[in-house]
C-alpha cells in the first residue's frame, strides 16, 4: 500500500520512536520545554505522547521559578504523564531568573528517583540555560557550581550528569567553548550551546555556521566531556523594546539538520517544543502559559508549527542510526514535508505597532522555504511552488532531504509534489495569505504548512 506523508507519520511514527530509543543513552534527542501553567493533565499527556511519537527521548524542562505553584503543578503533571507513557524528562534550570541552587536542588532531589527521569551513564541528567557567569558568592563560577550545587547533592547521594548551557561564560553572548573553558570548568560533564542554533543578528543575511559547534565538540571530547548541539528553525520575539528581535529562519532548520548529521554530536536539543515567546516552537501551544502576556498572544495565536515534526521525526531516526548525509533523511512512507513563510512582507510600515520592526528585520527576505523528504528509490519527483496564484518555481529532487527557498508573492501559498507522469502525489496550502501591510502587530512569525 502506498502511504502518504501524513499517514506514514501516523502509522510509522511509533516504529521510528522505538528505533530511536534503542540508542537513546548514547545519542539522546531532546525537546526544550518551557515550564508554564497547564490547564489540566490532558495537556501534559498530549505533549508527552506527541513528543514520544516523533521519536524524542526526553523534554528538557526549562524551570524559571522552582517554587511557584504554577510551575510545581505543571512539573508534577508532566512527570505523571511521562511515567504513564514511558517517556523521560530532565531539568534545565534557567539561570537568567534563578539565583541560588538551594531553590532548585529540592526539585531535582524530589524527581530524580522518578522512573521518568532521564539518566545518562547511571546519573540524572541536568542542564541549564546560561549560568556560566554566576558564582553564588564564590570566587569563580566553577567553584560556585561545585560547592553550592554538586557538593550539596553529593550529601544526598546524587551525582548529576551536568551538561549546562554555559556559553555566557566570561560575560559573553554565545561564547565558543575553547580548550581553556574545560580547564576553567571541570565541574561540567559536557556542554550545551544555545546561541549557535542561529546566525547572530550582527552577522547579516548569512547561513548558519557550525563552526562554534565543531570547536565545542572537539574540545569537549579532548577533555573527556560530551557536547549537546542545538537544532532550531528561527527566532522571533516581540514583547517590548528590549525584547524585539528576529534571527534568521529560511533554511536554518534544514541546514542545522545537515550540520548535526555531519558533526555527530553526543546529544541534540531541539529549540523548542513550546516556547511561543521566541516563536521557534514545534509542538502544542496551549492558552494557559501565555494568558498573562497579550504581547505574545498577539504574534503567536493562530500559528501552528507542528508540521515541522514531519521533517524532524525522520531526522531523529537518521541521527540515531549514525547517518551523516541529508540523503539519509528519508520519510517513513512515500514522502514527508513542510513549507513555511512570513505572511507579512518586509515593505510593511507597521505604523500602528509601537515596537516597530524587530532588530534583525534587515536580514530577512520575503521568501517561502520548504523541506521535502523522499525515499531512497525516489525518481522523477518535482517540487512546484505556487505563490499568489502563480507558479514561481519548480525544483527537481533527489532521495532524502530536499530544501530550498523562493521569493514569495502576495496572496495564497501552495506547494505541490509532482510525479514524473504529471500527477500530484502530495500538496499543502498555507492557511494565511501573504499581505503587504498590517494595522496590527508587526509579526515576523512563520506560517508552517503540512505537505500531505
Most distant CA atoms of the chain, gap in Å: 70
Tell me what pLDDT residue 145 has. Answer: 98
Three cell numbers, residue 415: 506547494
Three cell numbers, residue 312: 524532524
Give yes or no for residue 204 having a pLDDT over 50. Answer: yes
- The CA distance from 361 to 201, in Å, is 9
| 347 CB-near residues (< 8 Å, 6+ apart) | 436, 437
H helices of 223-300, in order, are 252-263, 294-300
Q: What are the E-state strand segments in 186-233?
A: 190-192, 226-232
Phi, psi of 111 (to 5 degrees): -105, -10
pLDDT digits (tens, 9 = 90+) for 66-118: 999 999 999 999 999 999 999 999 999 999 999 999 999 999 999 999 999 99
Q: What is the mean pLDDT of the segment spanning 279-307? A: 95
Tell me what pLDDT residue 174 has. Answer: 82
Tell me what pLDDT residue 152 has. Answer: 98
Tell me what pLDDT residue 170 has. Answer: 87
Do 352 and 308 touch, CB atoms closer than 8 A? Answer: no
- The CA distance from 385 to 378, in Å, is 19
Tell if the pTM clears 0.75, that is, is over it.
yes
Burial class from Cβ neighbours inside 10 Å (0-12, 13-18, 19+) for residue 220 reads buried
pLDDT digits (tens, 9 = 90+) for 394-442: 999 999 999 999 999 999 999 999 999 999 999 999 999 999 999 999 9
- The CA distance from 215 to 176, in Å, is 7
Task: Using alpha carbons, select from 93, 94, 21 the residue that is nearest to residue 51.
Answer: 21
- The CA distance from 93 to 101, in Å, is 9
Amino acid at each position: 500500500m502506498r502511504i502518504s506523508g501524513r499517514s506514514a507519520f501516523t502509522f510509522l511514527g511509533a516504529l521510528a520512536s522505538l528505533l530511536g530509543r534503542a540508542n537513546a543513552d548514547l545519542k539522546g534527542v531532546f525537546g526544550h520545554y518551557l515550564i508554564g501553567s497547564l490547564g489540566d493533565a490532558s495537556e501534559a499527556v498530549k505533549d508527552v505522547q506527541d513528543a514520544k511519537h516523533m521519536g524524542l527521548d526526553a523534554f528538557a524542562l526549562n524551570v524559571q521559578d522552582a517554587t511557584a505553584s504554577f510551575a510545581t503543578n505543571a512539573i508534577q503533571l508532566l512527570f505523571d504523564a511521562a511515567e504513564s507513557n514511558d517517556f523521560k524528562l530532565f531539568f534545565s534550570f534557567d539561570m537568567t531568573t534563578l539565583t541560588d541552587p538551594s531553590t532548585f536542588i529540592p526539585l531535582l532531589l524530589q524527581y530524580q528517583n522518578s522512573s521518568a527521569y532521564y539518566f545518562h551513564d547511571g546519573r540524572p541528567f541536568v542542564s541549564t540555560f546560561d549560568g556560566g557567569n554566576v558564582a553564588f558568592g564564590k570566587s569563580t563560577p566553577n567553584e560556585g557550581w561545585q560547592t553550592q550545587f554538586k557538593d550539596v547533592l553529593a550529601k544526598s547521594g546524587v551525582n548529576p550528569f551536568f551538561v549546562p548551557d554555559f556559553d555566557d561564560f566570561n560575560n559573553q553572548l554565545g561564547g565558543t567553548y575553547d580548550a581553556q573553558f574545560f580547564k576553567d570548568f571541570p565541574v561540567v560533564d559536557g556542554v550545551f550551546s544555545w546561541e549557535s542554533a542561529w546566525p547572530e543578528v550582527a552577522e547579516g543575511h548569512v547561513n548558519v555556521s557550525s563552526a562554534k559547534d565543531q570547536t565545542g565538540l572537539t574540545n569537549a571530547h579532548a577533555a573527556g566531556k560530551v557536547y549537546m548541539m542545538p537544532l532550531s528553525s528561527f527566532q522571533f520575539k516581540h514583547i517590548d523594546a528590549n525584547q524585539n528581535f528576529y534571527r534568521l529562519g529560511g533554511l536554518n532548520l534544514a541546514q542545522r539538520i545537515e550540520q548535526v548529521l555531519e558533526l555527530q554530536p553526543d546529544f541534540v536539543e531541539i529549540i523548542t517544543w513550546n516556547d511561543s515567546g521566541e516563536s521557534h516552537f514545534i509542538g502544542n501551544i496551549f492558552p494557559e502559559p501565555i494568558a498573562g502576556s497579550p504581547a505574545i498572544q498577539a504574534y503567536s495565536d493562530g500559528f501552528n508549527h507542528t508540521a515541522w515534526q514531519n521533517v524532524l521525526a525522520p531526522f531523529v531516526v537518521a541521527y540515531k542510526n549514525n547517518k551523516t548525509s541529508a540523503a539519509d533523511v528519508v520519510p517513513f512512507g512515500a514522502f514527508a514535508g513542510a513549507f513555511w513563510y512570513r505572511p507579512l512582507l518586509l515593505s510593511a510600515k507597521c505604523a500602528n505597532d509601537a515596537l516597530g520592526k524587530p532588530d534583525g528585520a534587515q536580514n530577512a527576505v520575503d521568501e517561502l522555504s520548504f523541506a521535502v523528504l523522499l525515499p531512497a528509490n525516489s525518481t522523477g519527483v518535482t517540487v512546484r511552488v505556487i505563490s499568489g496564484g502563480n507558479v514561481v518555481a519548480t525544483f527537481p529532487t533527489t532521495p532524502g532531504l530536499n530544501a530550498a527557498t523562493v521569493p514569495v508573492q502576495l496572496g495564497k501559498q501552495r506547494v505541490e509534489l509532482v510525479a514524473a507522469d504529471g500527477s500530484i502525489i502530495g500538496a499543502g496550502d498555507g492557511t494565511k495569505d501573504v499581505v503587504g501591510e498590517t494595522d496590527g502587530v508587526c509579526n515576523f512569525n512563520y506560517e508552517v504548512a503540512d505537505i500531505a
